Amino acid sequence: MIAVEGVKMAQPQWIRMNREQAGRVLNQLSSRDDALVFSRDATEVAWRSLAFFSNYRLCRLTNYATMPTFTMTYLTDGTEYIALDGTANPIYTADEKDPLLLTEENVLPYIEFFFSHVQGSEGEVFLIRDPGKMPFLDSFTDAQQQGVMQNFKPVGVTFDAHRGAYRIEATLHYGGVLMSAAIIVMKDGKISFEDQHLLLSGIHFPDSPYGRNWIEG
């Protein structure tokens, strides 16, 4: 079992495409019937690699013509573009097209990628690697902060050869509660949750832990 403490693997940086490359992406996307409209003159296109895919990468379009700026992120192999719409389906679609290269080292980045792009009815899921670095910790009362520290269970990764799946024991924040759970990641990337236990309730993040905090309207 790998114990993962407060260490977070460095995310690859976003790489901005030049106008010619960006134009090609916009042209490819424009051929789709369900394509969202982006301004050609004011849309930045950037990409970054994902350690667990060999062919697919992330492509981010940011339209600066609107206020606030409008951003959509796609999974792409350079030909097909799958919009990340906040549900699990787009990621599972890419998983089918480009079989995952999961290892004990990159299964956690895969889960964090998944959680940062998929929401449930109660909002975002956030995996806590280090309680001392939990988002918005300062906004909680002393008692709550103490509760977080006391209830935190370190992340542990194991491979269950019998099921052919990774099992990640972790502390998660979801829907205003802190809980422990086992996250099961099958080799095909499908995720499920087992052994969920409530650790602490009334822990509400004032904003998105992923930094999406625009108020619409």
Partner 1 sequence: MLQRIKGFEHTAEARKVEAEIENRHSGAALFSNEMPAPAQKQSPAAPCI
Partner 2 sequence: MPASTDLNDVLQPGQPLPADSVMIAKALEILSASPHGQQLANFVEKKNIVIKIAGTPEPVGYLPDKKLVYVGFNRNNAISPGRFILMLAAILREAQQEAAGIKHPDLRAPLEEHKKVSMAKHEDKIWYICTIACELHDQVAFSDYKFLDELRKMGHSEALDLYLRQEGKS
Given the rule CB under 8 A, which residues bind partner 1? Answer: 16, 18-19, 26-27, 29-30, 32, 35-44, 62, 64-69, 213-215
Nearest distance, CB of residue 32 and partner 1, angstroms: 8
Q: Which is nearer to partner 1, 67 or 143 (CB)?
A: 67
What does 8 interact with, of partner 1, partner 2, none (CB < 5 to 8 A by kind)?
none
User: Helices 107-117 and 89-97 sit at what angle, rounded to 10 degrees?
Assistant: 140
> CA angle, 208 as apex, 204 and 213 as ends, to 5°?
125
Out of partner 1, partner 2, none, what residue 134 binds, judged by CB under 5 to 8 A for its kind, is none
* Least gap, CB of 136 to partner 2 (angstroms): 16
Q: Which listed option, partner 2, partner 1, none, makes contact with residue 139 (CB within 5 to 8 Å by class)?
A: none
Alpha-carbon distances of 74 from 58, 61, 125, 140, rounded to whole Å: 6, 8, 20, 35
Closest distance of CB 18 from partner 1, Å: 6
Identify which of 129, 124, 147 has the alpha carbon closest to the alpha carbon of residue 209. 124
- Whole-Å CA distances, 150 to 84, 144, 146: 35, 10, 6
Q: How far is the CB of 72 from partner 1 (least distance, A)?
A: 11
Q: List residues near partner 2 by CB under 8 A.
A: 36-39, 42, 63-67, 70, 72, 83-89, 117-123, 125, 172, 174-177, 179, 181, 191-193, 196-198, 208, 212, 214-217
Which residue type, as a one-letter code, is found at position 51?
A
Nearest partner of 173 among 156, 147, 189, judged by Cα: 147
- If the CB atoms of residues 49 and 119 are measured against partner 2, the closer one turns out to be 119
Query: What is the number of other CB atoms lying within 10 angstroms of the CB of residue 200?
Result: 18
172 binds, among partner 2, partner 1, none (CB under 5 to 8 A by kind): partner 2
Rounded CA separation 85/88 (Å): 8
| φ and ψ at residue 36, rounded to 5 degrees | -75, 150
Beta carbons of 68 and 90 less than 8 angstroms apart:
no
Closest CA to 178 of 117, 116, 118, 136: 136
Question: Which is nearer to partner 2, 11 or 39 (by Cβ)?
Answer: 39
Would you say 35 or 186 has its CB closer to partner 1? 35
In the bound complex, what is the minimum distance in angstroms from residue 14's beta carbon to partner 1? 11
Least CB distance from residue 78 to partner 2, whole Å?
22
